[in-house]
Amino acid sequence: MATKKKKKNGINIASLIITILAVALAIGAIIFLLKTTGSDDEAETTPTRPAVTEFMATQELVDATQQAAYDLLPKNYKVFQYLTRGMTHEDEPYGNLPEDGFYTCVSDEFDNFDDFSDYIKGIYTEETAEKLLSDPFGNGSVYGVDDTGALGLSSEFVPNEEEGLSWADVHFLCTPLSETECNVKVTLKDSSDNDVDKEVMLVLENGEWKLAELVG
């Protein structure tokens, strides 16, 4: 009877070991499947970034920005001269300063300050036009209304006597960035006849292309 018991116990232990190994293999297989499935799900659910594409302007947009630059840049140059050199004006008797703070401008183009203001607003964005009319360089206004109602040049204005860049042979290149913005590279000449590049933005505002800043 004792011998039979030992044989029976030996069979039970072997079966137990086999069962444990089978369970371990099953658990390992389940873990492997879970990891594999998780990796596939992550790969499938990871959002892909859209490719960045360069803005493709229509020929109509290119023509419109080029025409705007062709029209606005020469006017910008005149404004730059007005604001840095000053307009021709009438001097006060005996070299006195004007009591109202403005010399009366002598201009065939502008009858009054409103005319000058409208000219500026037709070239630049609203924000830039307001700055140029009120305080272009951080020293207060350059132009205003004199005591007769005419366009006046501030008595505190000091003209810039430097030669500056030449606009005699200006070139420009328009690069539309969107339907409402266009970068313009303006090539001028310095006193040594070297090219000097300036950049300015054209912005479509209220249906019209305007310069975003003064170029000079």
Q: The CATH number of the domain where 167 resides is what?
A: 3.10.450
Pair 79, 176 in one domain:
yes
200 lies in some domain:
yes
Residue 49 domain-assigned? no
Question: pLDDT tens per residue, the chain (216 residues)?
Answer: 444 444 444 445 555 455 555 545 555 545 544 454 454 544 455 556 655 568 899 999 999 999 999 999 999 999 999 999 999 999 999 889 999 999 999 999 999 999 999 999 999 999 999 999 999 999 999 999 999 999 999 999 999 988 889 999 999 999 999 999 999 999 999 999 999 999 999 999 999 999 999 999
Inside any domain, residue 44: no
Return the pLDDT at 76: 98
Residue 193 lies in a domain: yes
Query: Which structural domain, as residue segments, surrounds residue 111?
Result: 87-158
Q: Is the same domain home to 91 and 153?
A: yes
pLDDT of res. 20: 52
Please check whether residues 95 and 198 belong to one and the same domain: no
Query: How many domains are there within the chain?
Result: 2
Q: Same structural domain for residues 103 and 120?
A: yes
Report if residue 30 sits inside a domain.
no
User: Has residue 130 been placed in a domain?
Assistant: yes
* Measured distance CA(213)–CA(81) in Å, rounded: 15
- Which residues make beta-bridge pairs with 183? 175, 201
Query: Which residues neighbour 96 within 8 Å (Cβ) at sequence distance 6 or greater?
Result: none
Q: Quick one: pLDDT at residue 1? A: 46
Whole-number pLDDT of residue 48: 61
Check: pTM over 0.85? Answer yes or no. Answer: no
Q: Quick one: 149 and 181 in the same domain?
A: no
Does any domain span residue 187? yes
Query: Which pairs with CB-CB distance under 8 Å and at least 24 residues apart come from 106-112?
Result: 107/151, 110/151, 111/150, 111/151, 112/145, 112/149, 112/150, 112/151
Domain boundary residue, one of 158, 181, 199: 158
